[in-house]
């Protein structure tokens, strides 16, 4: 694994391994088998990436700290997963991490590859919407999967991912994060994140799937476009403190890794009750906008196939497989 690392990453590992102690340039160059000038160039490269490295003339270099940027080396550092993050590709800017992950899927990249970007110029949301993706605050990432399922199973992967993300965000932030069917994460009545799953499939088998996740982590309210301020929020806004994006992403990938393994073995059933408990619509009066009609009723749960079950006033149970769900204003039905 270490041999796959670039020179500057090996240097980082060495410095980090000394836990803040100063290591001389000659010891570093000896270990890495390069000149002291090369070490000095790599130190500067790492500094440009945001690492804090102290240099003391005639003594050497010391590692002082890492940036909170989801760089491959940071996210992969101590990541305890089976599949998720086996390869991590970080990009400062990209059109869409889902788009790149789909291309990588076609090119045979392994299951678990993660594409993470600092910003997206054409971030994609559900139903053809745009995902606003400015640099510096949030998480935008896509995971490439090769699940042994038929195309209808993709919706259930989205639901399982929502459970993994919701549970982890609750644990990491202590915020009352909830799932809004099918793929939104909400906190205190506003959207904080979303999931967009895409796939390449033939009639009865998924070739590969991409699960894309966007989470507003530290975005200040004033950085949101005005049209979104009533409906969107970030974790930091809701909690009144900021969060480490690297630590969050690691925790999310670890949860997704465990849940994906269980899903591949046992399907959606082990997640059904958790989903219902975490869903903001469970037991609530909802309105569902379907193509060409709107239905109203009480959201009673989720079917084994992952459809939202809505009971109309006349008692008829609807299995909703796609559409936009909203909570009915109090007292109306």
Pattern of binders to ligand BTN over 197-216, x per CB under 6 A? ---------------xxx--
* 158 is an interface residue for ligand BTN by CB under 6 A: no
| Cβ proximity to ligand BTN, 153 vs 212, nearer residue | 212
Of 162, 97, 143, the closest CA to residue 124 belongs to: 97
- In the list 25, 39, 97, 249, the residue contacting ligand BTN (rule: CB under 6 A) is 97
Contact segment (CB under 6 A) with ligand BTN among 27-35, 39-47, 189-197, 300-308 equals: 189-197
Pick from 16, 41, 87, 126 the residue near ligand BTN by CB under 6 A: 126
CB of 192 to ligand BTN, least distance (A): 10
Task: Please report how the helices 154-173 and 269-278 are oriented relative to each other, as an axis angle in degrees rounded to 10.
Answer: 50
- For ligand BTN, which residue of 7, 125, 134, 267 counts as binding (CB under 6 A)? 125
- Report the distance separating Cα 245 and Cα 225, nearest Å: 21
Q: How far apart are alpha carbons 197 and 206 in whole angstroms?
A: 12
Name which of 215, 216, 262, 254 is nearest 237 in CA terms: 216
Q: Which is nearer to ligand BTN, 60 or 123 (CB)?
A: 123
How large is the C-alpha radius of gyration of the chain? 22
* Closer Cβ to ligand BTN, 28 or 154, answer by number: 154
Residue position matching structure tokens 């089976």: 82
Closest residue to ligand BTN using C-beta atoms? 194
Cα 221-223-229 angle, rounded to 5 deg: 50
Using DSSP, state whether 4 is helix, strand or coil. Answer: helix
Min CB(120)–ligand BTN separation in Å: 6
Residue 96 interacts with ligand BTN (CB under 6 A): yes or no: yes
- Cβ closer to ligand BTN: 25 or 70? 70
* Structure letter (DSSP) for residue 251: H
Residue 105 in the binding site for ligand BTN (CB under 6 A): no
123 near ligand BTN, judged by CB under 6 A? yes
Residue identified by tokens 């925790």 is 251
Q: Each residue of 277-307: b (16+ CB within 10 Å) or e?
A: ebbbbbeebbbbeeeeeeeebbbbbbeeebb
Q: By rule CB under 6 A, what count of residues binds ligand BTN?
A: 21
Q: How far apart are CA 297 and CA 130, in angstroms?
A: 29
Tell me: does residue 98 bind ligand BTN (CB under 6 A): yes
Q: Write the interaction track for ligand BTN spanning residues 127-156; mark x where CB under 6 A is met and - where it is not.
A: --x-x--------xxx--------------
Measure the CA angle with vertex 84, ends 78 and 86; round to 5°.
Answer: 70
Q: Do 134 and 219 touch, CB atoms closer than 8 A?
A: yes
The CA-based diameter of the chain, rounded to the nearest angstrom, is: 83
Least Å distance, CB 91 to ligand BTN, is 11
User: Which residues lie near ligand BTN (CB under 6 A)?
Assistant: 96-98, 120, 123-126, 129, 131, 140-142, 183-184, 194-196, 212-214
């Amino acid at each position: 694994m270490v041999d796959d690392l670039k020179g500057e990453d090996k240097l980082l590992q060495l410095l980090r391994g000394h836990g803040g102690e100063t290591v001389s340039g000659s010891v570093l160059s000896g270990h890495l088998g390069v000149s002291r000038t090369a070490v000095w160039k790599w130190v500067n490269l790492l500094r440009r990436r945001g690492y804090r490295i102290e240099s003391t003339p005639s003594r050497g270099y010391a590692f002082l700290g890492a940036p909170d940027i989801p760089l491959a080396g940071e996210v992969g550092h101590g990541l305890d997963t089976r599949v998720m993050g086996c390869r991590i590709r970080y990009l400062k800017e990209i059109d869409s991490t889902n788009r790149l992950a789909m291309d990588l899927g076609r090119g045979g990249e392994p299951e678990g590859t993660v594409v993470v970007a600092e910003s997206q110029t054409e971030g994609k949301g559900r139903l053809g919407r745009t995902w606003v993706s400015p640099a510096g605050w949030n998480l935008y990432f896509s995971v490439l999967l090769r699940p042994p399922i038929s195309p209808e199973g993709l919706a259930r992967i989205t639901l399982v991912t929502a459970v993994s993300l919701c549970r982890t965000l609750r644990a990491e932030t202590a915020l009352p994060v909830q799932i809004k069917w099918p793929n939104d994460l909400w906190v205190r009545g506003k959207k904080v994140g979303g999931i967009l799953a895409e796939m390449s499939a033939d009639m009865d088998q998924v070739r590969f799937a991409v699960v894309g996740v966007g989470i507003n982590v530290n975005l200040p309210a004033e950085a949101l476009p005005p049209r979104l301020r009533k409906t969107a929020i970030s974790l930091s806004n809701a909690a009144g403190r900021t969060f480490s994006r690297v630590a969050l992403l690691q925790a999310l990938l670890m949860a997704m890794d465990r849940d994906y393994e269980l899903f591949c073995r046992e399907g959606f059933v082990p997640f059904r009750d958790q989903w219902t408990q975490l869903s903001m619509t469970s037991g609530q009066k909802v309105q569902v906008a379907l193509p060409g009609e709107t239905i109203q009723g009480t959201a009673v749960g989720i079917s084994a196939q992952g459809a939202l079950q809505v009971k109309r006033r006349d008692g008829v149970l609807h299995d909703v497989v796609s559409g936009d769900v909203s909570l009915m204003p109090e007292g109306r039905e």
